[in-house]
Structure 1
Amino acid sequence: MDKSTKIYIAGHAGMAGSAIQRRLAAAGFTNFITRTRAELDLTNQAAVDEFFAAETPEVVYLAAGKVGGIKANNNFRAEFIYENLMIEANVIHSAWKHGVQRLLFLGSSCIYPRDCAQPIREDYLLSGPLEQTNEPYAVAKILGVKLCESYYRQYGAQFISVMPSNLYGPNDSYDLENCHVLPALIRKAHEAKVGGTPELIVWGSGNPRREFLYVEDMADACVHLMDSDIDHGLYNVGMGDDLPIRELAELVMDVVGYDGKIVYEQNQPDGTPRKLLNIDRLKSLGWLAKTQLRDGIVLTYQDFLSRLDRHS
C-alpha cells in the first residue's frame, strides 16, 4: 500500500485498534481516519453510512466491538450479540457500498466449536456446538466472518478475517468485572502483593489451556496480511503453543513478585477446555510471532504500573 493511503481504524482507542495504528505509523503511514465512540456510533446504520460517504476511506481495519472476559460475556449476553452484530454489519456493508479497497475484520478464537480437535484449523468453523458462556459473542463474530466471505464471493470485495488467540498487552482493560484472564491475574497479583494478602483467588479449576498473543504481534500480523497478495479468507493468528491457567497464574505471580498461595474457585466456570490455534496458513505467508509470553507479561505489567501512576 502507498504510505498516503487513507486508512480508517474502527476501534482505534482500544487495545487492538491502538496497536494496529502504532504498527502502521511505525511503517510510515500517516493518513488515518479515526472516530471515538462519542463521535460515531457504529451501531447506527445511517451514521456509519454518512461517515463512509463523507470520508471515503480506502482501507479499513475493523477492530471495534464490545469485548470482555467470561463473566461479562455470560452476564451481558444480549449486549454482546446485539452491539457486535450491528457494528460488523454496518461497517462491512458501508465499506463495500462506498468502494473500500481492502478491509480486515478482527474476530476471536471463540468462534470455533467448544470441543473441536486441537490445534484448531480455520476449516473447523461451524463444525460443532459453541462454548455456552460466550456463545452470543461468538455467533456475532461468526457473522462478521461470513459477511466478509459473502461480499467477496458476490462482489469480489477484498475483505479478510483474522482470528487471534487471547490478546494481552498495552492499553488492555484491568476492570475485574469485564477483563480477560491475564490482565485480571496481573491486577489481582499486584493488589495482593501491595496489600500483603496471603492468597490469590483464581476463577475455575486452573486446568483449561489457553494460548496468549501479545497485541503488538497481532498488529504486525494484520499489517502483514494486508500487505500480502491475499484478497480474502480466514486466518488464525497465534503463538502456536499454550499453557494451563494454573501455569499462567504462577508466571504472572513471578513477574509481579508475589509469592502467596493460589486458591481456585472451583464453582466458577472454566469455559472452553482448550483453545490452541493452528497457524500454518499464516506461517505459509512468512509470519511468526516474536514476543515470548514471559517477555510480554513483563511489558504488560509495566503498562499496568504506568497507568496506576497516571491515576494516582
Structure 2
Amino acid sequence: MKQNHSDHWPKGRYVLFGASGLAGTHALNLLKDQDGISVLAVSNSRLPSVTGENIEVAQADLTDSEKCLELSKEADYVLAFAGVVASAPVLAADPIAPIQTNLKVAVNCIEAAWRNGVKHCVWLSSTTGYPALEGDIIEEQMFDDNPPGNWFGLGWMTRYVEKFAKHISENVPNPIPVTCLRPSLIYGENDHFDDENAHFLPALIRRVILREKPIEVWGTGEQERDVIHAEDVARAAFLALNRAQGFRDYNIAFGKSYNVNHMLSLICSNDNFDDAEIVHLLDKPQSLAKRAFSIEKAQKELGFEAKVSLNEGLKRTIDWYRETI
C-alpha cells in the first residue's frame, strides 16, 4: 500500500544503510512505492523484510569503507541507520567490540556520503552520549559531563561520530549537510527480543508472551524512561531531509517518560496476561532513576511530534512478535 507521507520525502535516489534493522525497516516501509523515489536497501547478514517496486537490495559489510563508497556513489540521500546492537547485556558480555564496530560503520557511511557529494546525510545517533542530568535534557548539554556508568565508552563513541559529522558539514572542502538524530530508547516491530541482546522493553514483551512466572524486574521498577516507536524515528529522518541544513542535532523522543512498572502493566494487559507474577529484584544493579529529553528543538525546526502512542506501539509490537515466534 502506498504511504500517505509523500509530501515529507524529497524525491531522488536513497541509500539506506541498515535496512534490515529496527529503524531501517520502518524507514524502508515509509519509502516503498513512493513516486519519484528509488531506494538501495543495504544490510549485512539479514535481508530486509520490506519489499517494493522501487527497492533494490544489497548485502555488504559496512566496516569496509570502500564498499560504503561504492554503494552510495549514485545517492542523493544517505540514511546511515546501520550498526550492531549495543544494549546493556551486549556491553556486559563485551564492552569493546560493539563500540568498535559501530564506530567503523558510522564513520564509513558518513564519509562515503561526503565523498560522493550527496545532498544530505542523516545519521542515527543516540542519547547515550548525554551525562546523567535531571529534567528534560536539551541538545546543548551533550558535553556537560561524561556519559554515566556503563554508557561511558558507547557515549564517547557517539560524541566522536557527531563531531566527525560536524567536521564533514563545516570544515572540509565541498561540505554536505549532516543531521544527527538522537532518539530515546527505540522499540517496535522487528526489534531484538532475545535476552542476550534485547533492551528492557522487548525483553519484557518476550517474557510476557512466553508466560514466564515470575517476571523478574531489576530494581523497584520505578525507573522512568522515554521510549519512542521506530516509525516515529524514521519519520523524523525524512522531516530532517526537507528542513535541516548544515550540521544539526536533534533529540527525537516521545516527549513523556513512563516507569517500567507501568510499561510492564500495559504489556500484560495488551496480551491478556491477567495472572502475571512480578518480582522486583532489589539487590540487582539499578540504572538512572529517570531519563527525559526535550524535543522542543525538533518540534520548532522540523515540525516533529511523535504520533504512535505507547499503548498503540506496544500492541503493534506484541502482535508482530506473536506472529514471528
TM-score of the superposition, structure 2-length normalised?
A: 0.87
| CA gap 1:223/1:4 in 2 versus in 1, 3 angstroms | closer
Partner of 2:305: 288
Q: Is the 8 A contact 2:146 2:152 kept in 1?
A: no
Partner of 1:136: 153
Partner of 1:77: 95
For 2:199, which of 173, 180, 184 is the aligned residue? 180
Opposite residue 123 of structure 2, the aligned amino acid is F
Work out the CA distance in 2 between the residues paired with 1:75 and 1:296: 29
Q: Is the 8 A contact 1:218 1:237 kept in 2?
A: yes
Work out the CA distance in 2 between the residues paired with 1:256 and 1:40: 38
In the alignment, structure 1 segments of 5+ residues that lack a partner are none
Opposite residue 261 of structure 1, the aligned amino acid is E
Q: CA RMSD in A?
A: 1.9
Partner of 1:6: 13
Q: Is the 8 A contact 1:68 1:179 kept in 2?
A: no
Work out the CA distance in 2 between the residues paired with 1:232 and 1:65: 21
Partner of 1:36: 43
Partner of 2:176: 157
Partner of 1:206: 221
**What does residue range 1-312 of structure 1 map to in structure 2 within 5 Å?**
4-25=11-32, 27-28=34-35, 30-38=37-45, 39-52=59-72, 55-113=73-131, 115-155=132-172, 156-192=175-211, 197-258=212-273, 259-284=275-300, 285-308=302-325
Work out the CA distance in 2 between the residues paired with 1:299 and 1:122: 30
| CA gap 1:229/1:94 in 2 versus in 1, 3 angstroms | closer
Q: Which has a greater percent of helix?
A: 1
Work out the CA distance in 2 between the residues paired with 1:217 and 1:111: 21
Runs of 4+ in 1 over 6 A off after TM superposition: none
Opposite residue 202 of structure 1, the aligned amino acid is V
Instruction: Tell me how far 1:230 sits from its aligned partner.
Output: 3.4
| CA gap 1:133/1:29 in 2 versus in 1, 3 angstroms | farther
| CA gap 1:6/1:300 in 2 versus in 1, 3 angstroms | same
In the alignment, structure 2 segments of 5+ residues that lack a partner are 1-7, 46-58
Instruction: Tell me how far 1:269 sits from its aligned partner.
Output: 2.7
Work out the CA distance in 1 between the residues paired with 2:245 and 2:219: 40
The one of the two structures with greater contact order (alpha-carbon pairs below 8 A, sep at least 6) is 1
Q: Is the 8 A contact 2:86 2:99 kept in 1?
A: no
| CA gap 1:28/1:273 in 2 versus in 1, 3 angstroms | farther
Range 128-137 or range 9-18, more displaced = 128-137
Measured against aligned partners, the alpha-carbon deviations of 1:31-51 in whole angstroms (never above 9, x if no partner) come to: 111222153111122332343
Number of aligned residue pairs = 301
Q: Is the 8 A contact 1:80 1:136 kept in 2?
A: no
Q: Is the 8 A contact 2:208 2:268 kept in 1?
A: yes
TM-score of the superposition, structure 1-length normalised?
A: 0.90
Work out the CA distance in 2 between the residues paired with 1:181 and 1:28: 38
Q: Is the 8 A contact 1:24 1:223 kept in 2?
A: no
| CA gap 1:161/1:2 in 2 versus in 1, 3 angstroms | closer
Q: Is the 8 A contact 1:65 1:84 kept in 2?
A: yes
| CA gap 1:279/1:34 in 2 versus in 1, 3 angstroms | same
